[in-house]
Amino acid sequence: MSYSKLGQLLAMGEAVSAAARVLDRVARQKLKPAPIPRGATLRPGVETPLWRALVVAIHPLLQRRGAKALLAHELGLHRGRISDYFVTQAAMPDAERTLRLLEWYSRQRLSASRAGRKA
């Protein structure tokens, strides 16, 4: 192989390498999730594992008839919003309501454990 052919192969390799770098940069930009604007509300999903864990813990407590309506009254919400939180998982409460929800959950667990001890 002559030096001229080797030079051509190196030039072609550099061109392919440059094209690969450009394609890699474009792919990373397209796959990069859009940044969440400051102050924007998080949506339930992969980014909110603690909320998903709370939903899994609370969901069994809402199976009894009227439980969602009672919780909605406790949180000062419409009962359809409770379904948005725990059934369709399309929304999350604000910080104050989340704290009230945690308080409600701890009371429910405490009353369930007391009922278990009495039985």
pTM of the complete model: 0.63
Q: How many CB atoms lie within 10 A of CB 100?
A: 16
From CA 115, how far away is CA 97, in angstroms rounded? 27
Q: How confident is the model at residue 3 (pLDDT cuts 50, 70, 90)?
A: low
pLDDT confidence of residue 86: 93
3-state helix, strand, coil in the chain (%, to 5): 70, 0, 30
Domain residue spans in the chain? Answer: 49-118
Tens-digit pLDDT profile for residues 6-58? 778 888 888 888 889 988 888 888 877 777 777 777 778 888 899 999 999 99
- Residue closest to 103 by CA, chosen among 74, 79, 80: 74
Q: pLDDT for 63-100, tens place per residue?
A: 999 999 999 999 999 999 999 999 999 999 999 999 99
